[in-house]
Amino acid sequence: MFFFKTFVVCIKSLCYYVFMKNTAQEQKHKAQSFYMFLMMLAAFFWGTTFVAQSKGAEHVGAYTYLAGRSWISFFLMALMIQGIGFWQKKKKDHVPATKARRRHIILGSLCCGFFLFAASAAQQVGIAYTTTAKSGFLTAMYVVLVPVLSLFFGKKVRPLVFACVGLSVVGLYLLCMKDGYSLGFGDMITLVSALLFTFQILCVSHFSHGVYGPTLAAGMFLVEAVFATVGMLWTEKLSLVSLRAATGSILYAAVFSGCVAYTLQVVVQKHLSATLASIAMCCESVFSALAGWIVLGQTLSGRELSGCVIIFVSILTASLVSTEKA
């Protein structure tokens, strides 16, 4: 309870700092820092979910895990959206969606959901053939791919942001790579996963504008759930005993990694460029390492702690850089 109250006080203080009256430029920088903080909060939930994912993988297959997480996230988001919609109708604040907006949400859900499913599935397959450290490092390579592909889509990225990207890669290497490096089959699959996560980030950045964030997130979960269910029924055998053993892990992932983190991603990427969002998201590797240290008893060396510090420095530096919105 003490930690919860402390967290609430910190959030209130941060909100006051961000939204207090100031010059337009100062307000812009503070708002950008606030959204970077929210993106890091999403990365915190993704990072801590890695522990739950590791526990769940001991009992169920990758598609079963993804299907369970996605269906629960979808139904929870649908309930929340219905509740908010009912309240808005009661207050007469409800604005019916136009046909163009519905089409935009459907297309966005299909694109974001497909790439989220494909990236998550590729990551799960790849991790079976490589180490966790390599998987974490290679998956986070979207921090490099996002700004590069953003240039091809006509987005402007400042040189200092590219410097922060390079700094993040150095930090990720120190954090994740312990015993040298050689490229194997699992590493190649994980690199494909990083490319797919890149497209998911870019899709969210594109489709999040002009739509209600939770609605797009719910649609994304529904599409991912359908694909994961097909994969589960096609390639895996269901066991009630195994499913019951993995229930806690799946629920944690559904609520925090799904409902909270991915909804934060959709909302935040309305206000941050895809490049800045990806820099904040690579903090997931830091939080997963810290969660492994606290929950699983895995130790962190001085080299790994240095990697964590470098990643945080790159994020703080990037948050002070004014860039075009994606």
In tens, the pLDDT along 133-175 reads 666 667 777 777 787 777 777 777 677 777 877 887 787 777 7
pLDDT at residue 137 in the model: 67
pLDDT of residue 240 exceeding 70, the answer is: yes
Dump pLDDT digits (tens) for 259-311. 899 888 888 888 887 877 887 887 777 777 777 777 766 666 777 778 777 87
Print the SS3 string covering 143-162: HHHHHHHHHHCCCCCCHHHH
Percent of the chain scoring above 70 in pLDDT? 76
Dump pLDDT digits (tens) for 61-114. 889 999 999 999 999 999 988 877 655 554 444 445 677 788 888 999 999 999
pLDDT of residue 316 exceeding 90, the answer is: no
**Opening angle at CA 133, ends 283 and 187, nearest 5:** 110
pLDDT of residue 220 exceeding 80, the answer is: yes
* SS3 call for 270: coil
- Tokens matching residue 68: 């369970």
pLDDT at residue 76 in the model: 93
- In this prediction, residue 231 has a pLDDT band, given cuts at 50, 70 and 90, of very high
* Mean model confidence pLDDT for the chain: 77
- Cβ neighbours of 15 (radius 10 Å): 11
- Average pLDDT over every residue of 247-261: 90
Query: Can you tell me the distance from the alpha carbon of 58 to that of 297, in angstroms, rounded to the nearest whole number?
Result: 18
| Closest among 98, 197, 182 to 133, alpha carbons compared | 182
Ranking 125-134, 191-200, 206-215 by mean pLDDT, the lowest is 125-134
pLDDT at residue 17 in the model: 47
CA 210 to chain centre: 20
pLDDT at residue 322 in the model: 46
Query: Can you tell me the distance from the alpha carbon of 324 to that of 326, in angstroms, rounded to the nearest whole number?
Result: 6
Query: Can you tell me the distance from the alpha carbon of 175 to that of 298, in angstroms, rounded to the nearest whole number?
Result: 13
Query: Can you tell me the distance from the alpha carbon of 289 to that of 185, in angstroms, rounded to the nearest whole number?
Result: 24
CA 279 to chain centre: 11
Percent helix, strand and coil across the chain, each to the nearest 5? 80, 0, 20
Query: Which sequence spans correspond to the domains of the chain?
Result: 46-319
pLDDT of residue 205 exceeding 80, the answer is: yes
pLDDT of residue 5 exceeding 50, the answer is: no
Q: At what angle do helices 284-295 and 159-176 cross, to 10 degrees?
A: 20
What separation, in Å, do the N-terminal and C-terminal C-alpha atoms of the chain show? 38
pLDDT of residue 204 exceeding 80, the answer is: yes
Q: Which helix (H) or strand (E) holds 55?
A: helix 24-57
* 75 compared with 176, residue with greater pLDDT: 75
Which of 19-23, 233-237, 269-273, 313-317 reaches the highest mean pLDDT? Answer: 233-237
pLDDT at residue 196 in the model: 93
pLDDT at residue 3 in the model: 37
Burial (CB count within 10 angstroms: exposed 0-12, middle 13-18, buried 19+), residue 6: exposed
- In this prediction, residue 325 has a pLDDT band, given cuts at 50, 70 and 90, of very low
Reported residue count of the chain is: 326
pLDDT of residue 323 exceeding 60, the answer is: no
| Closest among 107, 115, 17, 59 to 239, alpha carbons compared | 59
| Closest among 268, 279, 269, 275 to 310, alpha carbons compared | 279
- In this prediction, residue 123 has a pLDDT band, given cuts at 50, 70 and 90, of confident
